[in-house]
Each structure stands twice: as structure tokens, then as C-alpha cells.
Amino acid sequence: MCCSVGFARSLGLALLPLALCCIVANLLLLFPMGEIDYVQQDRLASYIWYFGGLGGGGLLMLIPSVVFITLGKCDCCWNESLMMCGSVLAAVVGLLGSAYCFVISGFILVQGPQCFTSKGWSYPFANQGGRYLLQPDTWSGCLQPVHIVEWNVTLLCLLLGLAVLEFIICLLQLGNGLVNAVCRPCCYKQEYSLNA
């Protein structure tokens, strides 16, 4: 059981910086090029307000991270199987959070940014189904905020990658927790029957 708890703790320690990076990336999306004006004028992509990185990949991911890191710290409170069941529930929360971050970031990426073009404020790439990502020469059509397409694409791709890593880590702990919660009592029964 010690190695499975140690494994869970290392997964929790890996989740912590990923969650913090998601929070920072989402906050940077709110302030293109560090400017506050676009938030005040409501000139951001609509899906940014769903806070995929801040909520799903960030704050929600802190739950499994803390649970995994503190696993086994209180020996008097839980038996080992119940402790691993708790980590399984935390892993499911993490899976949901990372999936939410991935889906929202994908929607924002496909929709494209809201920007000022020669026709005024609009979503110039909204009807392209993400094809604008393969046509960087069209990005200059966004006049304000300056380099908003590059800003969004970079941060959203970062969020997508972080969400995938978080999903994999939570999936590993889900498997680890299920195996230990289900198989560990069986192993103890076999040990007792062999010693009897």
C-alpha cells in the first residue's frame, strides 16, 4: 500500500503546478497583452467567461491535488481501502475538471477571438470551424487588440496541453485507487488464510 500512496502523492505534486499554470493562462486570456481595457469594454471571446482554465483546470484540480498529496497522513481516520476510494472520487473530480478545461479551450480556439476589424468589433473567424488556425496570413485582419490571435492561440494551446496532462494524471490515479481499493482487501484475506 505504501508504494500506491507514494505514487498518488507524486501525482498530486505533479497536478499542483499544472493547476497553477491553468489559472495563470486563463487570467492572461482575460487581459490581452496585459491591457485591462478589453475586459472593461466586454471585448473578449464569449467562452472565456466560462473560465475553463481558472475553474476546471485550475481551482477544481486543486481538490484531487490536495487529496492525493495528503493521502495516508491521518492513519487513525480511514482504513486503507476507504482512503483509496476517497482518492478515486477525487480523481473523478479531476477528470471532470480537466475535461471541462479541454472542451471550453477548444470552443474558444474554434470560435476565434473577438477583435476590431475593418468592419468593427466582431468574431471574424467564428464561421470557419477553426480553419483560420492554418491560415496565419488572415490573422492580421484583427487590428485590435494587437496580436490577439497569436495571444489566444498560444494560451489556449497551452491550456489544451495542460488539460490533457491533468486528465492522464487523474486517470492514472483512478486506476491506482481502484486496483488498491478492490484488490487490497483480497490480498489481506489471502495472507491471513496462508498464515492460519
Q: Which residues contact 28 (CB under 8 A, 6 or more apart)?
A: 151, 155
Q: Is residue 76 part of a domain?
A: yes
Q: Tell whether 62 is covered by a domain.
A: yes
Q: Global pTM?
A: 0.87
Query: What is the structure's pLDDT at 74?
Result: 59
Ranges 29-43, 78-92, 123-137, 165-179: which has the least confidence: 78-92
Question: Is residue 49 domain-resident?
Answer: no
Could you list the residue range(s) of the whole structural domain that residue 24 is in? 2-33+54-102+145-183
Domain count for the chain: 1
Query: Which contacts of 185-192 are long-range, i.e. CB under 8 A and separated by 24 or more positions?
Result: 185/81
Within a domain: 112: no
Q: How far apart are CA 138 and CA 135, in angstroms?
A: 6
